[in-house]
Amino acid sequence: MSRVLVACEFSGIVRDAFRKRGHDAWSCDLEPASESKYSSFHFHQDVRQVLDRDWDMIIAHPPCTYLSNSGVCHLHKDKARWGRMYEGCDFFSLFLNLDCERVCIENPIQHKYAREKIRKYDQIIQPYQFGHPESKAICLWLKGLPSLVHTHNVKDYMMTLPKKDRQRNHYMSPSRDRGKLRSVFFTGVADAMAEQWGDHQ
């Protein structure tokens, strides 16, 4: 059994995948936990307050608002975003430099200014490689963990769907909760993490 911290996660999707397989997994986020069987295993606080506990593995989903390639155009329209971008890079790098043997950091493709501060990812995956008929580049920065092996490739089926369904996150309607909804992780990828990394030494 591994002690796992899932940082910057309110949905509990990754936490629950590990919990279902017998691991002592906890999520942590500034948002309260979404309701689930394991929602009590959640730290509703700043993740920096629990990083120094004895974790065997840390999986982090740091905010990507100011780091992702999709938002780079806004940097040149709003000078204040530059400061927030550098703060985002510092927070991201906190996980890169953790004193933990097994670490995974997840983020979308980053723009060139963030890449100047953060090393290149170790693996890039797609939801459709894990059973979700969607396209969304997921970059993984790995320490002490092997690359994820694809579990169920549904790309052929995905390509039969309308573009708005294949790129659901991109075409999601504007709303107050859009950013929060777009950050919810994919259960197929979470299951692969728990199955392939849970007992990895």
CB 151 within 8 A of CB 129: yes
pLDDT of residue 183: 58
Where do the H-state alpha helices sit in 9-98? Answer: 13-19, 72-75, 80-96
Domain that holds residue 156: 3-197
pLDDT of residue 63: 93
Residues of the chain with pLDDT under 50: 178, 180
First to last CA, the chain: 11
Where do the H-state alpha helices sit in 2-152? Answer: 13-19, 72-75, 80-96, 112-115
pLDDT of residue 174: 57
Q: Which of 10, 17, 12 is nearest to 148 (CA)?
A: 17
Mapping DSSP to helix (H, G, I), strand (E, B) and coil, where does residue 23 land? Answer: coil
CB 13 within 8 A of CB 32: no
pLDDT of residue 164: 80
- Report yes or no on whether pTM surpasses 0.85: yes
Q: Measure the CA–CA gap between 129 and 125, rounded to whole angstroms.
A: 7
Domain CATH for 192:
3.40.50
Using the Cα atoms of residue 65, residue 69, residue 74 and residue 79 in order, give the sign of their dihedral: positive
pLDDT of residue 178: 44
